Amino acid sequence: MTLDVAAVRASFPALSAGAAHFDGPGGSQTPIEVAQAVAATLVAPMANRGSGTQAERNADAVVAGARQAIADLTGGVPGGVVFGRSATALTYDLSRVLSAGWGPGDEVVVTRLDHDANVRPWVQAAAARGATVRWADFDPATGELDPEAVAAVLSGRTRLVAVTGASNLIGTRPDVAAISALAHDAGALVWVDGVHLTAHAPVDVTALGADFLVCSPYKFLGPHLGCLVAAPELLETLHPDKLLPSSEAVPERFELGTLPYELLAGTTAAVDFLAGLAGAEGDRRARLLAALAAVEAHEDRLRERIEEGLAGLPGVTLWSRAASRTPTLLLTFAGRSARDAYLFLAERGVNAPAGHFYAIEASRHLGLGETGGLRVGLAPYTDDADVDRLLAGLGEFLAG
Ligand SMILES: Cc1ncc(COP(=O)(O)O)c(C=O)c1O
């Protein structure tokens, strides 16, 4: 199937403000259906979860619905879906629980490709336990993270490998399945940051070999919160700090305080919106796989158009080079700052931010330090006219 971009765009009120949005990797625009689901939940009878009143049942149904939606999106099971404030918060929370049994001699593997949300919580957890951090490097020339680079830092003492499903800075999609197999052979758990990947490709937590996968609905057309997906049996073995009266059940055990019911309803609506891109036939998981494959094809076509356009512009360096990658392009310009390019484009209604986007280790490893580059990210609502405006704007900037 092909994506009907005009029909997609009609659902996004924000686009009527006129900007071309290449800032999706920071957070996507939101369809009206998602906003309506949030509003409808806020004004419906709502109480704490329970079964006695309609208001309690409404809250219960919203939570159950959102767990099923995220399970469908990621190939997980609803009983293994944990909601939290953000992927960062969930990673911090679980890093403390998972590291409880670590000690001197134990090791954790992190990569220099990752967003800091999948680096610093592990580095700090290791430091608190006297455990050792081993770093896996990507090749700055190609942007590739070779599974062998992870294998080289694995040992019999590796307790956990933290790796990204896709880089939010340069788009690289490492071979996570291969990395997970190596990690499991060494007896380690695998924590996958799926925040950037989930917005751009069909995801299957089992195929990735991820023991834990995090994603953030606001990157895939939903509201601002975070999700963690794991096997319920694995979650049963973990005991986070929690309030005495709060539930011991999995996954509730990991969810501190009252869940944001309206955002959970918005999350379900975002998943339904994505599934709806593939029409109405089949179960939601099947429609999601088809829809995300169509999104991927659409974004790849536009990415290639941008890359062809960039090749004709003077002094542009493209840092996104891996064979398998999301449509996320990091650019720098000879003699001109990425920040100036961002501001120049912003004046022309083209939104493409500059920076390191918290992938600070990756930016440094590329030699781009704290400055980073201009990031051009695509989304299901990006169209050819947006690409024309981007290329024209960059052409003007570089001619100036
Ligand atoms: C790859 C990646 N991981 C993690 C995060 C952090 O997500 P959250 O804002 O949900 O903590 C981001 C946000 O930009 C990201 O792009």
- Tell me the pLDDT tens digit for each residue of 33-46: 999 999 999 999 99
Which residue in the block uniquely carries the two structure tokens 């996570």?
A: 176
Q: Is 216 in the pocket of ligand 1 (CB under 6 A)?
A: yes
| Contact (CB, 8 A) for 154 and 184 | no
Residues of 353-391 as b/e, b for ≥16 C-beta within 10 angstroms?
A: bbbbbbbbbbbebbebeeebbbbbbbbbbbbeebbebbb
Q: Residue 392: CB partners within 8 Å, gap ≥ 6?
A: none
Residue 279: predicted pLDDT: 83
Q: Going by CA atoms, what residue is nearest to atom 9 of ligand 1?
A: 86
H or E element that contains 190: strand 189-193
Q: Which of 114, 196, 220 should be mutated for ligand 1, with most atoms under 8 A from CB? A: 196
Q: Is 115 in the pocket of ligand 1 (CB under 6 A)?
A: yes
Q: Which atom of ligand 1 is nearest to the CA of 90?
A: 11
Residue 55: predicted pLDDT: 98
Residue 280: predicted pLDDT: 78
Residue 140: predicted pLDDT: 98
Residue 281: predicted pLDDT: 87
Question: Number of helices and strands (H, E) in the chain?
Answer: 14, 13
Cα-to-centroid distance, 156 and ligand 1 (Å): 30
How many of the other CB atoms lie within 10 Å of CB of 53?
A: 11
| Contact (CB, 8 A) for 2 and 294 | yes
Q: CA angle 314-391-356, nearest 5°?
A: 80
Q: Residue 35: CB partners within 8 Å, gap ≥ 6?
A: 13, 266
User: Rounded to two decimals, what is the model's pTM?
Assistant: 0.98
Residue 218: predicted pLDDT: 98
Residue 228: predicted pLDDT: 99
Q: Going by CA atoms, what residue is nearest to atom 12 of ligand 1?
A: 195
Those residues of the chain that have pLDDT short of 50 are: none
Rounded Cα gap, residues 351 and 395, in angstroms: 15
